[in-house]
Amino acid sequence: MASKLNLENRKFVIGGIAVGIIIIYIIRLLTLQLLSDDYKRNADSNAFRKDILYPSRGLILDRNGQLLVYNEPSYNIMVTMQEQKGVDTARLCEAIGITVEDYKQRMSEIKDPAKNPGYSRYKPQIFMSQIPAEEFSMFKEKLFRFNGFSVEKRSVRRYAGGYGAHILGDVGEVSPKDIEESDYYRSGDYIGKLGIERSYEKELRGEKGMHIMLRDVRGRTQGHYANGKYDRLPVAGKNLTLGIDRELQELAERLLQGKLGAIVAIEPATGEILCMASGPSYDPRIMVGRDRGTNQRLLTRNPLKPLLNRAIMGTYPPGSTFKTTQGLIGLQEGSITTETMFPCAHGFNYMGMHLGCHGHASPLNLVPALGTSCNSFFCWNLYRMFNDRTRFKNTAEAMTRWKDHLVAMGFGYPLGVDLPGEKRGMIPNADYYTKHLKKWNALSVISISIGQGEVTATPLQTANLCATIANRGYFYTPHIVKAIKGGQIDPKYREKRRTMVDTRHYVPIVEGMRRAVLGGTCRGANLPGIEVCGKTGTAQNRGHDHSAFMGFAPMNNPKIAVSVYIENGGFGADFGVPLGALIIEKYLRGKLSASSERRAAVFAARHIKYSTDR
């Protein structure tokens, strides 16, 4: 009796399992047929071939309409494995100039799912890419002999000259991450990798088109599906006009030859960047074509880091250019007036603290202090503010106010330029010193008053400070792109950003910068017929000091603000001032005088020896 019951139970269990399996199969069939389009897509790929039509990438022009980047046709040789039968391999290799071993390796890589995850026997795969038009023309006549091989028309970027690499960037093949992040791209597509090409990729790339081709049961192409009713043409990318002046950019890069550093010029009235040069640089034309990968590896391994855009990624002590900010903060917070005078006995000397200074008249007030770049004046200014207990309950509160001023001036955080990789620089706060020094006071941090110590800034931030002073208290976020054809630039680049300092306090700062040019530390920037205002910077360094300068012109209704920073260049007057003066003269006059051209040639030839152990 018990065995009979066990037999009955077993029948129910087996029956239940069978019913469960049937239900699972039914659910799976319903999913495949009604809810999923996987089989439909696979069937479509057998019946249709979708040929992508690539748009022309947008052109890039300078502010005067001169072409900087354009397109030239190139071609990809494609292979469809399903149709590739009876091909004379030796003749094919001879026609396209490769060896049989190369052919076998390329075919192997096409079939390798790790290297080509989108592989399908029924879809064209890239066999060779970026073949110039002149090479392709010879192969085109023989193409009909090779079943399964076709041509995909593409384009490659061409550059009008060997300048602007850090601004313009380059275009390269998409990475797996790019494909994962956007369904626009597929394996073999190209994308902006650096510079403007990266920042404005969506505007520049355009929209792809498509031809839908009908196949027969043997996979042979029969023509356009529905007579091309569902085909669509590509839409070209948008052209960009930059604020860059091509000739100014060329000059800046020429002056930086053999040097590490940066030159940045801004139009104060708009925030448009007129030039942005970083040294060392490289020729953007080497980043095009089949040698791009090799050249990129060589640049990456170069110890002087030519791929680094020092204008926005280099963070340096701003040195004495920073004194302008301290004068502004002191005036706004009431720690000084334009008549306040401080002594200078070859430096700041107080309670065992000493910061040296060069010889000049003493005592002196703000305007001559800027003109002579007096360290002592600005040390006393900071000391008085940080110890003002009528305004601040302690030093930490005073320092917080100090930092808030500098952040409003564009320091301590990225400005928001339309280039990838901008660094923030460093403006320390009270918590930073409490963490690192435990006990501290105004004397502990006095070197920040002259742009040393923990303070760092990018050359772009210094140029923006100069533009802000030129504007007497406001700036526009610096940006490379001036206009997008058929589009608009980000509204943030049209918004006026004001500092926390009253406009009236900028007047003596401008006067002090003008005095520096007329008879102070910036005498080398005194251009006949142009009212230049400037400020030198000599940033202390473990090795040779860095040479810095910022200046704008004309003094009233300014058209250009420039910053120069040369690593290990010595005093600000050694490199910073003369290079800045050449940039100002070139932009305002449209050309350099004969004597200035000779001076530019001399400075371009003056190379600084750097250790490769950097």
Instruction: Output 84 or 371, whichever has higher pLDDT.
Output: 371
- Position 28 confidence tier, pLDDT thresholds 50, 70, 90: low
- Position 523 confidence tier, pLDDT thresholds 50, 70, 90: very high
Exposure string of 232-266, with b = 16+ CB inside 10 Å and e = fewer, is: eeeebbbbbbbbbbbbbbbbbbebbeebbbbbbbb
Length of the chain: 614
353 has pLDDT over 50: yes
Is the CA virtual torsion 459, 465, 467, 469 positive or negative? negative
What pLDDT, on a 0 to 100 scale, did the predictor assign at position 502?
98
Q: pLDDT, tens digit, for every residue of 571-599?
A: 999 999 999 999 999 999 999 999 999 99
Q: Is 61 within 8 Å of 240 (Cβ atoms)?
A: yes
What pLDDT, on a 0 to 100 scale, did the predictor assign at position 41?
47
What pLDDT, on a 0 to 100 scale, did the predictor assign at position 71?
92
Tokens matching residue 451:
């742009």
Q: Is 576 within 8 Å of 548 (Cβ atoms)?
A: yes
Q: Per-residue pLDDT averaged across 372-391, rounded?
A: 95
Instruction: Specify the range with the lowest mean pLDDT, choosing from 166-175, 227-236, 449-458.
Output: 227-236
User: How far is the C-alpha of 420 from the C-alpha of 195, rounded, in Å?
Assistant: 6
194 has pLDDT over 80: yes
User: How far is the C-alpha of 594 from the C-alpha of 589, rounded, in Å?
Assistant: 13
- Position 36 confidence tier, pLDDT thresholds 50, 70, 90: low
In angstroms, how far is CA 592 from the centroid of its own chain?
29
User: How far is the C-alpha of 240 from the C-alpha of 42, rounded, in Å?
Assistant: 40
Tokens matching residue 174:
């998409």
Beta bridge partners of 61: 67, 241
- Position 13 confidence tier, pLDDT thresholds 50, 70, 90: low
What pLDDT, on a 0 to 100 scale, did the predictor assign at position 438?
82
Q: What is the DSSP-derived secondary structure letter of residue 143?
A: G
In angstroms, how far is CA 21 from the centroid of its own chain?
59
Q: Per-residue pLDDT averaged across 105-116, rounded?
A: 82
- Position 77 confidence tier, pLDDT thresholds 50, 70, 90: confident
- Position 91 confidence tier, pLDDT thresholds 50, 70, 90: confident
Q: Is 96 within 8 Å of 130 (Cβ atoms)?
A: no
- Position 50 confidence tier, pLDDT thresholds 50, 70, 90: confident
* Global pTM value: 0.87
Q: Per-residue pLDDT averaged across 262-276, rounded?
A: 98
User: How far is the C-alpha of 74 from the C-alpha of 333, rounded, in Å?
Assistant: 62
Angle between helix 323-333 and 395-408 (nearest 10)? 120
Instruction: Specify the range with the lowest mean pLDDT, choosing from 243-247, 276-280, 359-363.
Output: 359-363
Instruction: Specify the range with the lowest mean pLDDT, choosing from 37-41, 111-115, 517-521.
Output: 37-41
Q: Which amino acid is at 419?
A: L
User: How far is the C-alpha of 519 from the C-alpha of 554, rounded, in Å?
Assistant: 17
Alpha-carbon separation of residue 195 from 108, 111, 192, 200 (angstroms) = 35, 34, 8, 9
Q: Is 174 within 8 Å of 90 (Cβ atoms)?
A: no
Query: 500: burial class by Cβ within 10 Å (0-12, 13-18, 19+)?
Result: middle
What pLDDT, on a 0 to 100 scale, did the predictor assign at position 34?
58
In angstroms, how far is CA 459 from the centroid of its own chain?
14
Q: Per-residue pLDDT averaged across 426-448, rounded?
A: 93
Q: Is 356 within 8 Å of 447 (Cβ atoms)?
A: no
Instruction: Specify the range with the lowest mean pLDDT, choosing from 33-42, 196-205, 295-304, 316-325.
Output: 33-42
Q: Which of 22-36, 118-132, 564-578 has the highest mean pLDDT?
A: 564-578
Q: Is 445 within 8 Å of 433 (Cβ atoms)?
A: yes
Q: Which amino acid is at 140?
A: K
What is the rounded average pLDDT for all residues in the chain?
89
What pLDDT, on a 0 to 100 scale, did the predictor assign at position 155?
83
Q: What is the DSSP-derived secondary structure letter of residue 227?
A: G
Tokens matching residue 476:
């526009």
Strands 272-279 and 261-267: what pairing?
Answer: antiparallel
What H or E segment, with its residue span, contains residue 215? strand 209-215
User: How far is the C-alpha of 196 from the C-alpha of 240, rounded, in Å?
Assistant: 9
Q: Among candidates 613, 614, 602, 504, which has minimal Cα distance to 255?
A: 602
106 has pLDDT over 50: yes
Helix, strand, or coil here: 449?
helix
What pLDDT, on a 0 to 100 scale, did the predictor assign at position 358?
83
User: How far is the C-alpha of 320 from the C-alpha of 249, rounded, in Å?
Assistant: 26
- Position 506 confidence tier, pLDDT thresholds 50, 70, 90: very high
Percent of the chain surpassing pLDDT 70 = 92
User: How far is the C-alpha of 346 from the C-alpha of 338, rounded, in Å?
Assistant: 22
User: How far is the C-alpha of 129 from the C-alpha of 115, rounded, in Å?
Assistant: 15
Q: Whose structure tokens read 């040639």?
A: 601
467 has pLDDT over 60: yes
Q: pLDDT, tens digit, for every residue of 307-342?
A: 999 999 999 999 999 999 999 999 999 999 999 999
Alpha-carbon separation of residue 400 from 330, 431, 451 (angstroms) = 14, 9, 17
- Position 249 confidence tier, pLDDT thresholds 50, 70, 90: very high
42 has pLDDT over 50: no
Q: Per-residue pLDDT averaged across 340-348, rounded?
A: 91
Tokens matching residue 601:
């040639």
User: How far is the C-alpha of 544 from the C-alpha of 526, rounded, in Å?
Assistant: 26
51 has pLDDT over 90: no
